[in-house]
Every structure is written in C-alpha cells, then in structure tokens.
Amino acid sequence: MTSQIRDLSDDEARAALPLKWGMTEPGVIPAWVAEMDYALAEPVVAAVQEAVGRGTLGYPRFELGGGELGRAYAGFAARHLGHEVDPAQVVPTVDVTAGVRLALDVLGPDRSPMVLPLPAYAPQLGLAEVTGRQQWDLPVTPDGDAYVLDLDHLDRLFADGARTLLLTNPHNPCGHVHTRAELEGIRDLAVKHGARVISDEIHAPLVLPGADHVPYLTLDGAGAHAVAVVAASKAFNTAGLRCAQVVTADPATHQRLTQVPMARNDSWSPLGVVAAVAAYRDGDAWLAALVQRLTELRALLAGLLAEHLPEARMRPLEATYLAWLDLRAYGHADPAAVALRGGVRVAAGHDYQPGLTGHVRLNIATSAERLTEIVRRMGSALAGAA
Ligand SMILES: Cc1ncc(COP(=O)(O)O)c(C=O)c1O
C-alpha cells in the first residue's frame, strides 16, 4: 500500500473506535460499522487539541448559517464537488440523521409518506416513524449488477401521495454514485408532483476514481424542493464529534429550516465544528491519500473475492468503503452470522432491508493485511459451513 494513511494497530483501533472495535469480541475482526481503522488527519487532530487546550468546551456559537463552518464547507464544495454554495445557507446540526429528521419535520409538516429506496442505511429505516409518517419502500432489485432506481415506481408513489424522497448519494450500502441523468429523472418527478428531495450526501468526499459526484442541489430547479445533508465526519472519521450540516440553495427553504423552535436543532458540538472546519479547510492532502488507499483496497478486494469467495457478486464500488456483497450462492440466509462464527463481524443485509437474505455489507477501510484475513476467514466460513 503506497498511501500516507497510517493503519491503527488493534490496540489503537480498540481505543479509537469504541463501537466498531469495542463491541466486537477479541479475536474477531470488525468490518461492520462505517468507521475506518486509520489514524486521524493531522490538521483535524491539531485543531481539536488546540481547541481543547483553549478550553473550547462551551456551547457552540448559535449560528444558523454562515460563520467559519459555512465558509469552510463552501470552500470544500467548490474545490471538490464543483458546487458553489452560499455559506449563509449552511446550517449546522448535530449529525446527518438529525439533519434529515429536521428537514422531514420542518419541510414536510403535512406528514405525507416518505419514499425510501431499499436497501437503506439502517437508521434511515426509523426516520419515517419518528417523524410521524409512513415509509413507502422503493426496493432496488437485489439482482443485476447495476444499481437502478425504478423511476416508474417512484412516479407511482408520488402520484399516490408520497411527498418526500430520501435519497442517499453516494449510496450506503450499495456504493452507487447517481449519474446526472438519474438525478435529473428524480428531479423531474419531484417537480411534476410537488415533492421534496432530502439528499443525504455524507459520502460525497469518498467518491472513487471512475465516478463523479453530482450534488443534487446543482441540478436546475432543485433548490426550490431539495436540501442536502452533509458532514465531514464520515470521510475524516470523526463521527463522535457531532456536527453535520444541512445545505440549502433557496432562501425560503433556509428560512423555514432556521425559524424553528430552538429545541429542534441546538445540539451540535463546538469540537465538531472545529473538526469540520479543519477537515474542510486543511484536509485535502489527507483526503486525497485516503481516496488513493481506498482505491487500492477496492482492487485488492476484487482479487480476494475471486480467490476466496468466487461465487460472491458485488455491485461496483463507486464510492464509500462499504462493499455490498450478494452471497446467496453460498446458501446461507444470514451470511453475517456465519462469518461471525468464522471470526469476522460484517453487517447483515437484513439490517438494511428487512427480510433480505444472503447479503452482507463489508467495511474495507482497514489495513491490506486485515482485509486479506477478513476475506480469507469469510471464504472458509461461508464455503465450509453447513
Ligand atoms: C448514508 C449515511 N447517512 C448518515 C450516516 C450517519 O451520519 P451521522 O453519524 O452524522 O448521523 C451514515 C453513517 O454511516 C451514512 O452512511
């Protein structure tokens, strides 16, 4: 591996990642929750250490747009995503899930159903219920190599009364990056039916060579019906610091989001802001090294699967470090449980789509040595187990 990303030792990873490593039995390699086994970016560590040294542990500035955070995100979006963002329209929130919830609550007070493409990032499965609306599923076929959103189905769901689509782009767990044409198809339906799109773009910094991320808000006409929810925390491994951003491209939508009672959105952390500003402003070199490392691991994974799990099918990993594996050929309803018995903790497919059998999500953001051992163990567990 050529990149300057530093692998954590097992002991370091256990200290750094209390959920991913701390809730995995000793001897089992964790490859489940979306965190990376790498040392943090130096500019982020330095900024957070300096902030702690200064005692910056009071409430963050209650700045619903603009400020250092807005400017830092706007700079990042311009450099990396080709998106000209108005810093004043970057609203902090505690995390991406809370940002989506806020957008659902505020922009969809009519409680109309929410469309959720499945499989979906597991916490999204509870979002409709906690915001008092129905979830209408838009299943993406588990067969086939390409990830294709069924726009005719979406058209019917909107026609039947759904008024919000929760889009995840790039997609977790499928690793897909929506093309401009796909997004324009979604945009046209949203406009036709007067629906909204909430676009979870937390994985946008993690697009790998071969794909291009198109921010939904850059589409003509999207600003009037859409918001994006973004964060530095996934690409920079700082989920525990609690700061995401809701981005708008329409002053009226921004105003609706920010004129809510304080109880709806007041709990992001000052250290999260410090980390996000440092990541967005000073993290480019580290991020480039990370993307290079993940690209190398993607190639390594392809070889490992061919060797140890030749019957596995995998949609192309266009972004993220989360590989979605179709392991139905091995005949196990719950291959994650079988893998766990074989010494690897991966995420079960049914966590992303209730009832789905034979699939797992594999987190490849670790060392080449661990990834090699992970796939080797999965191969012997799945191919060898009854
Ligand atoms: C698509 C997606 N959205 C949101 C999140 C979680 O973000 P947060 O911890 O900011 O809620 C994740 C985490 O992996 C994710 O994959």
The CATH number assigned to the domain holding 367 equals 3.90.1150.10
Question: 278 and 289 share a domain?
Answer: no
Residue 68 belongs to a domain: yes
Q: How many CB atoms lie within 10 A of CB 45?
A: 14
Q: What spacing in Å lies between the alpha carbon of 257 and ligand 1's midpoint?
A: 20
Residue 50 belongs to a domain: no
Q: Are strands 135-139 and 114-118 parallel, antiparallel or unpaired?
A: parallel
Question: 78 and 216 share a domain?
Answer: yes
Which atom number of ligand 1 is nearest to the Cα of residue 173?
Answer: 16
Question: 158 and 184 share a domain?
Answer: yes
Question: 228 and 146 share a domain?
Answer: yes
Whether the CB-CB separation of 315 and 146 falls below 8 Å is answered with yes
Question: 203 and 147 share a domain?
Answer: yes
The count of domains in the chain is: 2
Q: How many CB atoms lie within 10 A of CB 310?
A: 10
Q: Is 202 in the pocket of ligand 1 (CB under 6 A)?
A: yes
Residue 4 belongs to a domain: no
Rounded-to-integer distance, Cα 343 and Cα 30, Å: 9
Question: 85 and 142 share a domain?
Answer: yes
- pLDDT at 4 (0 to 100): 85
Residues with Cβ < 8 Å from 297, sequence gap 6 or more?
321, 364, 365, 366, 368, 371
Q: What spacing in Å lies between the alpha carbon of 380 and ligand 1's midpoint?
A: 31
Q: Assign residue 216 a region: left if phi > 0, alpha if psi is -120 to 50, beta otherwise?
A: alpha
- pLDDT at 143 (0 to 100): 65
Question: 338 and 233 share a domain?
Answer: no
Question: 89 and 125 share a domain?
Answer: yes
Residues with Cβ < 8 Å from 85, sequence gap 6 or more?
73, 74, 77, 78, 217, 247, 249
Q: Is 320 in the pocket of ligand 1 (CB under 6 A)?
A: no
Pocket mutation for ligand 1, best pick of 202, 216, 236 (most atoms within 8 Å of C-beta): 202
Whether the CB-CB separation of 165 and 120 falls below 8 Å is answered with no
Answering whether pTM is above 0.95, one says yes
- pLDDT at 2 (0 to 100): 52
Residue bearing the CA closest to ligand 1, atom 16: 172
Question: 249 and 115 share a domain?
Answer: yes
Residue 51 belongs to a domain: no
Residue 335 belongs to a domain: yes
- pLDDT at 1 (0 to 100): 57
Rounded-to-integer distance, Cα 380 and Cα 338, Å: 10
Residues with pLDDT less than 70, the chain: 1-3, 109, 142-144, 385-386
Which atom number of ligand 1 is nearest to the Cα of residue 168?
Answer: 1
Residue 204 tokens, joined = 């946008």
CATH code at 214?
Answer: 3.40.640.10
Rounded-to-integer distance, Cα 45 and Cα 14, Å: 18
Which of 282, 300, 332 delimits the end of a domain? 282
CA of 224: how far to CAs of 227, 249, 289, 299, in Å?
Answer: 9, 7, 36, 40
Question: 98 and 151 share a domain?
Answer: yes
Question: 217 and 303 share a domain?
Answer: no
Rounded-to-integer distance, Cα 242 and Cα 274, Å: 11
User: Quick one: which of 270, 364, 267 has its CA closest to 323?
Assistant: 364
Residue 213 belongs to a domain: yes
Which atom number of ligand 1 is nearest to the Cα of residue 244?
Answer: 10
- Expressed as residue numbers, the domain containing 342 is 10-41+284-384
Which of 282, 306, 331 delimits the end of a domain? 282
Residues with Cβ < 8 Å from 343, sequence gap 6 or more?
27, 28, 29, 377, 381
Rounded-to-integer distance, Cα 188 and Cα 347, Å: 34
Which atom number of ligand 1 is nearest to the Cα of residue 322?
Answer: 16
Q: Is 239 in the pocket of ligand 1 (CB under 6 A)?
A: yes
Q: What spacing in Å lies between the alpha carbon of 35 and ligand 1's midpoint?
A: 10
Rounded-to-integer distance, Cα 43 and Cα 286, Å: 9
Residue 295 CA from chain centroid, whole number: 17
Rounded-to-integer distance, Cα 335 and Cα 301, Å: 18
Question: 159 and 210 share a domain?
Answer: yes
- pLDDT at 28 (0 to 100): 98
Residue 48 belongs to a domain: no
Q: Is the dihedral of CA 101, 107, 113, 116 positive or negative?
A: negative
Which of 260, 282, 304 delimits the end of a domain? 282
